[in-house]
Amino acid sequence: MTPKVSTSQGKTITLASTLALQTVMESIGSTLDGRNLRLTFAPTKILLDRLRNGEQADVVVLTREGILRLVEEGILNPNYQDIAISSIGIAQAIGASAIDISTPEKLRDVLVGTGSIAYSASGASGIFFAELIRRLDIEELVRRKAIISPAGFTGEFVAKGQAEIAIQQLSELHAVGGLGPITPLPDEAQCLTVFSAASATRSASPDALDAITAALTSEDGRSQLRAAGLQPV
């Protein structure tokens, strides 16, 4: 990606991002506007905990809700930028027939009838899914056959044959090779998440946010977001 702004402060930009934008962030490359770009990735809850415990970053990419929490806590500056909107889906193995989850009732039937389900313990999608199965009144049934991942891409469990289906942000599912059909949750059981970027209050490169957002909102950046299953803002 080619950013639209020029920056000069600091020799390295450190960016901490949620997994949902990992493939997009990696597409920027190892340098940005003449500076080294250091990337770290983690699920939302883990990243929040790390930043609260003093982990340093120049720019943070999180759910908008997470960004606003860290703004209130004085960790991030309030001039955040919305980047993309993501939805949640289900991934299956290569060769599997695409599931019909077009209604909450059909989604419930699939979750009940599936032998093993992988989802995240600490990502935004996993937190939402835990609430969804409570609403569908199948929490105990699902938990008995669940593979709850502490971190990383849940689709890897399907790709390795360890789970029949995986639930996560569509962008995170698309980041995993060796998967079959990927189907969004129905609108009535969907959770749209806005991901935003903000600069850290203790950053030595306060201009880094402009460089990152310029890259992500460029024509190439927006194309990369769409390719990853994200909707550019």
Confirm whether 204 is domain-assigned: yes
If asked whether residues 99 and 81 sit together in one domain, one would say no
Domain count, the chain: 2
Confirm whether 224 is domain-assigned: yes
Host domain of residue 218: 12-85+195-232
Which phi and psi angles does 28 have, rounded to 5°?
-65, -35
Query: What three-state secondary structure class fits 93?
Result: strand
Task: Give yes or no for a contact between 153 and 160, defined as CB atoms under 8 angstroms apart.
Answer: no
If asked whether residues 44 and 120 sit together in one domain, one would say no
If asked whether residues 110 and 149 sit together in one domain, one would say yes
- State the pLDDT confidence band at 35, using cuts at 50, 70 and 90: confident
Q: Average of pLDDT values for 122-134?
A: 92
Confirm whether 6 is domain-assigned: no
CATH of the domain at 120: 3.40.190.10
pLDDT digits (tens, 9 = 90+) for 170-214: 999 999 999 999 999 999 999 999 999 999 999 989 899 999 999
Task: Give yes or no for a contact between 126 and 152, defined as CB atoms under 8 angstroms apart.
Answer: no
Structure-token pair, residue 218:
């460029």
Task: Give yes or no for a contact between 171 and 192, defined as CB atoms under 8 angstroms apart.
Answer: no
